Structures are given as C-alpha cells and as structure tokens.
Amino acid sequence: MKKLCVVLVVCFLMAGNLWSADLTPSKPILILSDLMLPRYATSGSGVPGDPYVIENLLIDMTGKNSNAGIWIKYTRANVVIRNCKIINGIDALNNKNNPFSANNLGIQCENVCNLIIENCQVETNNMGMWLEGCLGVSVFDCTVQDNRYRGIYLMDSKYCVIANNVVKDNSGDDILLNTNFKKPTSTCQFNRVTNNTTRTIHLMGNQSNNVVKGNEDPL
C-alpha cells in the first residue's frame, strides 16, 4: 500500500511537470488590433468557427517591463487564448519601485470582442485578469490564484461569461463585477472562489441584470 501511494504521488508530480514542459517560453505579448493577431496565433483566421488561437505559452514576468503578460486591445476578430501560464508579475521590473502599480497583470483586455480565455494559469501577479469595455468575452476553466490584488476584474462589459474557474488566495476580491450599464447581462457561475483576504465575489454598480449563481462561496 505504501509503495502504491508513493507511485501515485510521483505520477501526479510528473503530470504537472509535463504540463509545464509542453509550454513554450514567451515574452509578454501586446496586441493593439486585429492586424497583430496572426503574429502570435498558431492557427486560425479569426472568423466564427475558425478563431485565432494563442496557446501553450509560459510567460514569466520576472524582470520584465510590461503592463501585462498578455495585453490585448481593440480587437474584433474571434480569438481563443488557451493553455497559457502567466506568472510572477509581482517581480516584474517596473513593479520594484512601485509595489502598488496597476501594471504587471496576468491578462489585460480592453475594448475586446469575441474572445475566449480557457484553461490558463494566472498566478503571482499584481492582478490576475482585467477585462474592461469588453463584449462577448468568456473565461472558462482557468486557475487564478496568489495574485496581489484581485483575481478577475470585469468592468463596464456586456455579455461576458466567467464560469468554472478556480479563483483563490488572492489578496483582494477574487472576482469583482463592476458596471454602470443598465442591462449588462453578464454571467458569473460555477466558480470555486475561496481563501481570499477580503471578499470572494464583489458586486458594484448596476447589477440588476447580471447572473451570479452556483459559485462555491458566493458573495
């Protein structure tokens, strides 16, 4: 029995290492328009049914000087970001002299449409994910933990979905929904949100049409 337990532990550790070994080290990514997407995508054309795919990247922010590991703005094409690991924004170069900087995020999306973020690990950054002014952005099956401030921040966005994520051990809110739209109609459901130091899910602004349900530790 003891040998069996040892074998299972070793197999578990090897599986985690293999997942990391399959990732390609990358510098931080900045995308400012649809025209820049083919530079970073491994496949796809950006149309419905054939999205641009950005995948399997390891972005270690240690010693880097960037606002975010992946910073994407002003895109309308269909995009999927998946199987990426973004870490150590807390130790980024432009964070050393200003530990309260709003920089050094894991994933930052501004004025973005038609984006799916799935199966990503976003850890030890100033903030995990910042989604602002977005339309139709979905975050699925991600792990967002040990970030200095918030885990996931959805601000002034419409028809977005945050679902089936593990968001934990962040120093601020695990998930913050903040909007002034009268009909935001975004959904936050079936997330596991635990062990943060303030609130798990925090609602601000007009929340009358948002759907918040089925989360492990809501409100």
194: left (phi over 0), alpha (psi -120 to 50) or beta: beta
Per-residue tokens: 95:
């964070």
Is 80 exceeded by the pLDDT of residue 4? Answer: no
- Residues 136/164, Cβ–Cβ less than 8 Å: no
- Residues 130/153, Cβ–Cβ less than 8 Å: yes
Q: Where are the domains of the chain?
A: 25-213
Q: Please give the order of strands across the beta sheet that includes 57-60.
A: 24-25, 57-60, 85-87, 121-123, 143-145, 166-168, 192-194
CA distance linking residue 38 with residue 61, whole number of Å: 23
pLDDT for 148-197, tens place per residue?
Answer: 888 999 999 999 999 999 999 988 888 988 877 766 689 999 999 987 66
Q: Which CATH class is domain 25-213?
A: mainly beta
Task: Provide the pLDDT for residue 33.
Answer: 98
pLDDT for 72-131, tens place per residue?
Answer: 999 999 999 999 999 998 876 655 555 445 678 999 999 999 999 999 999 999 899 999
CA distance linking residue 38 with residue 67, whole number of Å: 21
170: left (phi over 0), alpha (psi -120 to 50) or beta: beta
Helices (H), the chain: 2-21, 37-40
- The type of residue at 218 is P
Which residue in this structure is represented by tokens 């492990």?
216
Q: Between 192 and 14, whose confidence is greater? A: 192
Task: Provide the pLDDT for residue 153.
Answer: 94
Task: Provide the pLDDT for residue 73.
Answer: 97
